[in-house]
Amino acid sequence: MLRVASSCHEIFGRRFRRALGDNPGRVSIPAPRPDDPALAVLAERVQAGDRAAEPELVERLLRGVIAIATVRLGSRDLAADAAHDTVVALIEALRAGRLREPSKVAAFVHGILVNVIRVSHRQRKVERASEPLVPELHVEIPIDRVQAGEEQQVLRAALGTLEPVDRRILIATLIDGDAPADIARRLGLSAQLVRTRKSRAVRKVAEFVRRMTRPPGKRYIRERA
Amino acid sequence: MSESTRTCDAERLEQYVAGRLDEVTRDAVEQHVLECEACAEDVQLLAALRAGLSTSRASFIPWISAVAAVAVLAIGAGIVRNQRGSVPLPASPPAAREPVAVQPDLDALASFTPPPYLSLRTRAAESPTDRAFDAAMESYNAGRYDRAADLLAEVVKRSPDHEAASLFFGISLLAGGRPADAVEPLTRVIERDGTHTGLARLMLARAHLRRKDVAAARRELETVTAGADPEASQARALLKALPAR
């Protein structure tokens, strides 16, 4: 059984470390890795029949798949379903040798994910087949519901600690999609100050959630015996 | 794929989460997110923030209504007082012209949007208690608080130590208009002193307000504000809005 665990705390965890590390200003972001060679190598290994590479590839891609599905579907529950279906379909396709250019594995996964999301949009809930799509492969993405509920409450409380102007900046940015220059004009601030306040507010929320939530659960992927 | 969408661009990710990118740019950003774990983490955090902001903006509206109602009453009373100050009083003032004693509407102060319970477990619940809890929370999230309370009563009966069940049982009772019944399960959560204590106290304060027991509500709120619970800021705001002692 291929089993993938993920939690909101883990999702926040690395960001905290980056956000709260050496750089007190903007979150440090590693250099871009277009056409990640490690990803291509993993995909090639899976195509070649290396079962040990499958969980590695899934773990490498899962965070991005869940992130995109969450944004597109607006629900972490549906996103978890979509992630499940995407990685299962990916492994099935790789085992069947359907990826022609391993260097384009991200685009390949994206195509699968978009299709899964389209189906999910149509059905709102993808109905699981009673039999696994890939023989001997079953993916579970168990996430603690109580913990998730707690984290939602903590997140709301964290947002409550922000100054009103910072909440307005975050709402304008993330809900209304306004540019810093537009927000700055409305609030009578400079665009740079809007960017600074926004980064600081994000870090403050991240830190609050980190302090108030439980330690991260064990993340693990394992192959069925 | 354009160069800008292949790199880690924080503002581009914010626009992506806000749904402000055209289809081509969105797909390019998504392919980058699949390759770049750092940006994937950022997107997850921003998406969670967006969801939290949407919820808090929606649940803020009843507060605004309640505060606005109190403010209108206060302004009205102020106008009456000012008029009495500037206009000569009649020789024999009628009782109706006495200043209006403004009391906050306790029901309005006690109003709240039940916190949504976010379900993320995709595998089937394993124990009968988990299954019963899941079923109850489906009703809860659908706004069927009476039904949720009935189902959660069974869960609590079966598993008295199930903290989340007791908490949401109390909240369901309160949301379903049974504040007196909500006191016992919420008190049980507080006595356990677990992770939900602050929220349970906040809800208990609202139950007391519904029962017009301002002193008991004040005690709970003061306890929350004295601690480090994430509900402290809400408790402080509610405390400020309570009628004077």
Complex prediction ipTM: 0.71
Judge whether residue A36 has pLDDT over 60.
no
Interface test with B, best of A2, A23, A146, A208 (most B CBs within 10 A): A146
DSSP state of A136: T
* pLDDT tens figures, A63-78: 899 999 989 988 777 8
CB-CB neighbors (< 8 A) of A208 in chain B: 230
Whether chain B has a CB inside 8 Å of the CB on A81: the answer is yes
The residues with which A3 forms a beta bridge, in sequence order, are A140
Distances (CA, A) of B205 to B59, B168, B210, B214: 18, 15, 9, 8
The residues with which A139 forms a beta bridge, in sequence order, are A2
For residue B101, count CB atoms less than 10 angstroms from its CB and return exposed for 0-12, middle for 13-18, buried for 19 or more.
Answer: exposed
Which pLDDT score, from 0 to 100, does residue A154 have?
74
Which pLDDT score, from 0 to 100, does residue A136 have?
46
CB-CB neighbors (< 8 A) of B119 in chain A: 77, 145, 148
Q: Among A165, A166, A174, A149, which Cα is nearest to A205's?
A: A166
Distances (CA, A) of A27 to A187, A206, B41: 24, 12, 12
Residues across chain B = 245
Instruction: Say what percent of chain A tops pLDDT 90.
Output: 27
The helix (H) or strand (E) run that includes residue A125 is: none
Judge whether residue B75 has pLDDT over 50.
no
* pLDDT tens figures, B142-174: 788 889 999 999 999 998 888 889 999 999 999
> Which amino acid makes up residue B138?
E
Tell me which residue in A39, A114, A152 faces B118 most closely, judged by beta carbons: A152
**E-strand spans in A96-203?**
139-140
How many alpha carbons lie under 13 Å from residue B139 in its C-beta half-sphere? Answer: 21
Judge whether residue A215 has pLDDT over 70.
no
Model confidence band, residue B55 (pLDDT cutoffs 50, 70, 90): low
Which pLDDT score, from 0 to 100, does residue B188 have?
92
Q: How far is CA B87 from the centre of its chain?
A: 45
Please give the Cα distance from A50 to B103 (Å, whole number).
73
Model confidence band, residue A207 (pLDDT cutoffs 50, 70, 90): confident
Size of the A and B interface in Cβ pairs below 8 Å: 198
Q: How far is CA B35 from the centre of its chain?
A: 37
Closest-CA residue in chain B for A14? B41
Give the range among A83-87, B85-89, B122-126, B238-242 with minimum mean pLDDT: B85-89
Please give the Cα distance from A42 to A39 (Å, whole number).
5
Judge whether residue B60 has pLDDT over 70.
no
Judge whether residue A5 has pLDDT over 60.
no
Which pLDDT score, from 0 to 100, does residue A73 have?
87
Among A204-213, B64-73, B87-96, B144-153, top mean pLDDT goes to B144-153
Query: Could you tell me if A91 and A137 are in contact, meaning their C-beta atoms sit under 8 angstroms apart?
Result: yes
Which residues of chain B from 218 to 237 reach within 8 Å of chain A, CB to CB? 230-231, 233-234
Which pLDDT score, from 0 to 100, does residue B185 have?
94
Which pLDDT score, from 0 to 100, does residue B215 have?
92
Query: Could you tell me if B201 and B220 are in contact, meaning their C-beta atoms sit under 8 angstroms apart?
Result: yes
Query: Could you tell me if B118 and A152 are in contact, meaning their C-beta atoms sit under 8 angstroms apart?
Result: yes
Model confidence band, residue B113 (pLDDT cutoffs 50, 70, 90): confident
Which pLDDT score, from 0 to 100, does residue A129 have?
43
* pLDDT tens figures, A141-196: 444 444 556 666 777 778 888 888 898 899 889 888 888 999 999 888 899 999 99
Model confidence band, residue A41 (pLDDT cutoffs 50, 70, 90): very high
SS3 A3: strand
Model confidence band, residue B82 (pLDDT cutoffs 50, 70, 90): very low
**Percentage helix, strand, coil, to 5, in chain A?**
65, 5, 35
Its pTM stands at 0.50
